Amino acid sequence: MELMVLLNALVTRLLFVLHSLIGVWRVTAVKKEPKYWLLALLNLLLCLETGLTLKFKQGRGYKWFSPAIFLYLICTVPSLWLLEIHHGTQYCGNEPGAVQVNVSNQDFNQSRDSSHGNEGTDHHIIQTAKVFVNQLSTICETVWTLALHQTFLLLLVVGRWLLPIGVEITRDQLSQLLLMFVGTAADILEFASETLDIEDVRKNYALINAILAVWTWSMLQFPLDLAVQHIGCKPSASARRIPSLLLCRYSAELWNIWVSLFIQDGPFFIVRSILMGHFRIFNQMLVFFTAKNVLVVTLQLYRLAVIMFDFRATILQKSRKGEVCCCPCEPYEARAHATSHHDNELKELVAFPPKEESQAPSEDH
């Protein structure tokens, strides 16, 4: 088991490094300046994190935060920024987004004729790889950038799945987190591709930077695991403070609402509203996704109101009975069910007193 943990930790981080290096290679090829290879030095941070994790955590993750995912963002996001800002006008074929990678038979025949024996076979493989790389280089820049965006988001989800989990998060919580990340990644990809592909947006350099800044801000939710974990705190320390009690009881729900309002749907709605209201940019998809953001923000505010009213009713009920609030880390439904069950048993005992030889039922709270 420990061997599999170490293997998953190393393989996942290796995939992160390889994808980051591909992004740096594309930036260097597009800009035609070797100095951009210096971006590859950012991967040293990921290598350092790998060594520290293997030494102190035996390859397992941390509570509430994933340093590997965060450093992967640091290594890859600068390359995607440079590619989106450059946005070359290379011809992409007869159809938009067409990808054609053809390795001609003549290239293979030439490499095969020049190969003799074992050394010739090795030379043939090297020549084939060079031809394939040259063909990949002929793909237009916009297709490369979109492919890097897509693989970047897929690796974030798959990498979070492959990374060993810590003792603080369960498999059930991890599965919930991954399902949330899939929907989040789809929304982020749609926001970046749909807004940056607008022709009027491409003519405004400041608007491109603003959209990329919002896109980068939305990516910061991937290293965090607060969406499925409740904050553990002591009842004695939080029972006297209403905000602490609210945070302990509904920490995961409040984090989801905060992410939607301030990291994802809220900023996306603001950007799309500015595009339509100030820059007078309208299209069918832009209007649809703006309406979707409005709906999500409204539902999140409604959910927040429901939580506040529910919490207020619970506090008032406890204060009227003169009871001390239960452990704030337990779900409210479980405590409410246990309290109602206990009250019913007390009513039955009052209505039908037990006989002397019988003992009152005890309940472990």
Residue 27: Cβ-neighbour burial (10 angstroms; 0-12, 13-18, 19+): buried
Q: Which amino acid is at 179?
A: L
Return the number of other C-beta atoms located less than 10 Å from residue 142's C-beta: 19
Return the number of other C-beta atoms located less than 10 Å from residue 242's C-beta: 13
Output the pLDDT for position 357.
44
Q: For residue 154, which of 125, 176, 186, 177 has the smallest C-alpha distance?
A: 186
DSSP string, 99-120: ------HHHHHHHHHT--HHHH
Residue 82 neighbours by CB under 8 Å, 6+ apart: 27, 30, 31, 36
Q: How far apart are CA 27 and CA 141, in angstroms?
A: 10
Q: How far apart are CA 58 and CA 79, in angstroms?
A: 31
What is the phi-psi region of residue 246: left when phi exceeds 0, alpha when psi lies from -120 to 50, beta otherwise? alpha
Query: Do 12 and 54 form a contact (C-beta atoms < 8 A)?
Result: no
Q: How far apart are CA 281 and CA 304, in angstroms?
A: 33
Residue pLDDT, tens place only, 290-313: 999 999 999 999 999 999 998 888
Angle between helical axes of 43-56 and 2-31 (0-180°, round to 10): 170
Output the pLDDT for position 1.
53
Q: How far apart are CA 43 and CA 71, in angstroms?
A: 8
Q: Which amino acid is at 283?
A: N
Q: How far apart are CA 241 and CA 245, in angstroms?
A: 6
Q: What is the pTM of this model?
A: 0.77
Give the count of alpha carbons within 13 A of 116, CB side only.
1
Return the number of other C-beta atoms located less than 10 Å from residue 60's C-beta: 19
Measure Cα distances from 44 to 11, 13, 51, 56 in Å: 16, 12, 11, 18
Angle between helical axes of 265-277 and 284-321 (0-180°, round to 10): 140
What is the phi-psi region of residue 363: left when phi exceeds 0, alpha when psi lies from -120 to 50, beta otherwise? beta
Q: Give residue 261's Cα distance to chain centre.
A: 16
The SS3 of residue 65 is strand
Q: How far apart are CA 101 and CA 19, in angstroms?
A: 20
For the chain, how long is the longest CA-to-CA vector? 103
- The low-confidence residues of the chain, meaning pLDDT below 70, are 1, 88-122, 132-138, 167-168, 227-240, 321-365
Query: Do 264 and 187 form a contact (C-beta atoms < 8 A)?
Result: yes
Output the pLDDT for position 360.
45
Q: Which amino acid is at 360?
A: A
